[in-house]
Amino acid sequence: MSERVYIGLGANLGDRGEALLQALQRMAALPQTTLRAVSSLYSSAPVDATGPDYLNAVAVLETEQAPHNFLHALQALELQAGRERPYRNAPRTLDLDVLLWGDQRLDSPTLTVPHPRMWERAFVLRPLAELDAQRVTAAQLHAVCDQRITVAQDPQWAASAVRQSTP
């Protein structure tokens, strides 16, 4: 059975746009997985952290993989992109977070879904609302409206990755 899975992508070190595009292509190429859609590309200020601005997006995929297997695959992609974890909320070349796994709730030591901090972050809620307006309320968007975030590129920025993935 396949689930509709929302992934948050972020990068604030290195060639950020290239890292996000490559991550989309690599997620699209994972076994039993199809990349369905990608939001616009956003530029945002770090939240609870210092460092350069982020580029962010949200992608929706369909996968038959189990949640923990999928998380491990995402972590391998982060490592492939040169991700290091020197301290909490450190700047990063690639961050891939599981935001939503269908309508499931998951609570294990290594995977909590819905992502526990997603409702505090404009860089998650804005692109998520763009992909699926049903998933985010106006009140939730309003609660993060003071965070600095702009659209850097329209959704076409990732169109080639979506096209290549569609069977």
Of 24-32, 38-46, 90-98, 149-157, the segment contacting ligand ADP by CB under 6 A is 90-98
Tell me if 113 contacts ligand ADP by CB under 6 A. yes
The radius of gyration of the chain from alpha carbons, rounded to an integer in Å, stands at 15
Tell me if 130 contacts Mg ion by CB under 5 A. no
Contact with ligand ADP (CB under 6 A): which of 26, 56, 93, 97? 97
Total of residues contacting ligand ADP (CB under 6 A): 10
Tell me if 89 contacts ligand ADP by CB under 6 A. yes
Tell me if 95 contacts ligand ADP by CB under 6 A. yes
Residue 109 phi, psi (nearest 5): -55, -25
Contact with ligand ADP (CB under 6 A): which of 111, 143, 151, 152? 111
Distance CA 27, CA 19 (A): 12
Q: Determine the 3-state secondary structure of 53 from DSSP.
A: coil
The CA–CA distances, whole Å, from 21 to 1, 94, 156 equal 27, 11, 12
Minimum CB distance to Mg ion smaller for 97 or for 130: 97
Torsion over CA of 59, 78, 44 and 162, rounded to 10 degrees?
-30
Q: Which residues bind Mg ion (CB under 5 A)?
A: 95, 97
